[in-house]
Homo-oligomer: A and B are copies of this chain.
Amino acid sequence: MQVEVLPNAGSPLLPYLEDKLVIVIDVLRATSTMVTALANGCQSIIPVLSPEDAMERRLTLPGSLLGGERNALPIEGFDLGNSPFDYVPEKVGGKRVIITTTNGTRAIRDASAAPKIWMASFLNMHSIVRAVLRQFENSDKLQGVVVFCAGTEERFDLPDTLCAGMLIDGLGAKATLNDLGEAARILYRSSESNLVDKISDSVHGKRLISLGFERDVVYCSTPNILPVIPVFEEGEVVWLTED
């Protein structure tokens, strides 16, 4: 199985996404928040690129909520920020959420040529690894996996890369890797026992902590607690129904 890791949204994308399973990772915090929202009964998440797009989209979806961030902070007039702790069952249960974030929603849109797009985070990694392995046992149509780290403002992001490394570690020796995939595996293995510290010390982690979101950073660094596989289909992120 060919596994290629891309460092950030805005990475040059080759046309071969057309036969790849793409796994989008934005640990701090978009994909962690989407996983949490679905686990808490959210009906679907609609990623859009800008706050203006979000408000326009809501006009066609009565009863939906608006969520997201700019510069890590909630957007004025929106119902929810980008903290997973905003997405509690009482707020998002049974609802659609239209969401816009700086890096994560952009990566999902960048990947839209792919036939399958899933969202990973530390929270749901065990389920993602099992689903990827099952996918490649059953299908000869997919030609590999592209792990698409959202990054931070078009830069390499250590939390996303560590999460990609955990995925690669879980896939085992069968995976053929690009250089960033090999780097991610080494980084994860050397940081496995102190993930929270490494993520807290990253540029994005420190910024969130300085804004009062330390609880988010610790939560988003916790592996394997939610059995959700969010899949992007027809413009919405929903809980994957296994065949």
Residues 185-213 of chain A, each 1 if its beta carbon lies under 8 Å from chain B, else 0: 01101110000000001111000000000
Interface flag for A15 (CB, 8 Å): no
Number of copies: 2
* Minimal Cβ-Cβ distance residue in B for A157: B179
Report the nearest B residue to A152, measured CB to CB.
B179
A26-44 interface bits toward B, Cβ cutoff 8 Å, 1 = contact, 0 = none: 0000000000000000000
Contacts of A161 in B (CB 8 A): 179, 183
- CB of A62 within 8 Å of the partner chain: no
Q: Are A203 and B187 in contact (CB under 8 A)?
A: no
Q: Identify which of residues 162-192 in chain A touch chain B, using a CB-to-CB cut-off of 8 Å.
A: 178-180, 182-183, 186-187, 189-191
Tell me whether B182 and A158 are in contact (CB under 8 A): yes
Tell whether A7 is near chain B: CB-to-CB under 8 Å: yes
Asked if A202 and B182 sit within 8 Å, CB to CB, the answer is yes
Given known A-B contacts A154-B12, A156-B7, A186 and B191 have beta carbons under 8 A apart: yes
CB closest residue in chain B, given A156: B180
User: CA of A157 to CA of B181 in the docked complex: distance in angstroms?
Assistant: 11
User: Does A155 count as interface, using CB distance less than 8 angstroms?
Assistant: yes
Q: In the assembled complex, how far is the CB of residue A12 from the closest CB belonging to chain B, in whole angstroms? A: 6
Instruction: Please state if B156 and A183 are interface contacts (CB–CB under 8 Å).
Output: yes
Chain B neighbourhood of A157, CB < 8 A: 179
| Interface residue ranges of A1-38 to B (CB < 8 Å) | 7, 12
| Pairs A-B, 5 closest by C-beta atoms | A158-B179, A156-B180, A190-B190, A179-B202, A179-B203
What are 11 A-B pairs with beta-carbon distances under 8 A?
A12-B154, A12-B155, A152-B179, A156-B178, A156-B180, A158-B182, A179-B202, A179-B203, A179-B204, A182-B201, A189-B190
**8 additional contacts, CB 8 Å, given A12-B154, A182-B201?**
A7-B7, A156-B156, A158-B180, A178-B203, A179-B203, A183-B187, A186-B191, A190-B190
Instruction: Write the residues of chain A forming the contact surface with B, with a CB cutoff of 8 angstroms.
Output: 7, 12, 152, 154-158, 161, 178-180, 182-183, 186-187, 189-191, 201-204
